[in-house]
A = this chain, B = another copy of it.
């Protein structure tokens, strides 16, 4: 990160879920643990740039989680709190560490939730629209004032049930960050390179395809970049890897204010490294104790692992 310019990092706006997760993996299980896309994103992003979180929790949301997010420096002015119970997700990785099996979803306060982006956050230059109903993502996009760089995520459920909404979302964002299965479903093709190129033709200048243990690839109109995953020997819980990848990626871009190709590559590396910590523990346990020094050490390792 030696080429990072000395400047005040832009804050990054993330709109996503705040959840209480119950997860079982070959390494163990947790119940009602802190989770959700906006949480994982924020815990990763804050290592590089300040983060503004927009989401909703219920009255049952533990105060200790709010204290943790505050302590990590997240701006929670966009975090609504209302009457019902908090969004809950229950998943298992017992069959396959690369893919969650959803056992239960309780939308609770998320049912019908329309994110309210505080006025002060609408001029955020760097924005991440985490996975949710594409119509909601588009509504958020509509209320932004001239963002410099917007990235979004989506999942198979929305690709299958709201293809037009997803298509418009993709057309209007600068970067699409999806996993390999989503890239294949979006394009109907099996070859990831061809899928990435097809997605580029649909609008975004930047396509990032995350491949779990196989790393990630970055495609732009004129370039191709591939990075391996940091070699984690013992994956405890993959939940949140994708959102923390996005957090590291967007955080690096906002910290440098640079979206050139070399910066995009370094941002992908930051995302890969942060995600490697996420999977080494349940919930945000590893992520929230992480320092810039830890990230820098793995970035160096990853850089040395690629050259020939």
Contact = CB atoms under 8 A, between A and B. Distances in A.
Contacts of A217: 228, 231
Interface in A58-86: none
B190 A215 contact: no
Most buried by B among A97, A217, A227, A231: A231
A308 B268 contact: yes
> How many copies of this kind of chain does the complex include?
2
A235 interface: yes
A26 to B, nearest CB: 8
B193 A231 contact: yes
B269 A308 contact: yes
Contacts of A194: 233-234
A113 interface: no
Contact of A226 (B190, B233, B262, B305): B305
Interface string A189-220: 01111100100000000000001011101000
A233 B193 contact: yes
B193 A225 contact: no
Given A228-B217, A234-B194, A308 B97 contact: no
Interface residues of A, number: 33
A228 to B, nearest CB: 3
Nearest to A235: B191
Contacts of A301: 224
B226 A213 contact: no
Contacts of A266: 308
Contacts of A28: none
Interface in A79-110: 97
Nearest to A272: B308
A224 B190 contact: no
A308 B192 contact: no
Nearest to A262: B308
Nearest to A190: B97
A112 interface: no
B306 A307 contact: yes
Nearest to A306: B306
A276 B235 CA distance: 30
Most buried by B among A194, A226, A235, A268: A226
A170 B84 CA distance: 60
6 contacts: A191-B233, A217-B231, A228-B228, A262-B308, A306-B307, A306-B308
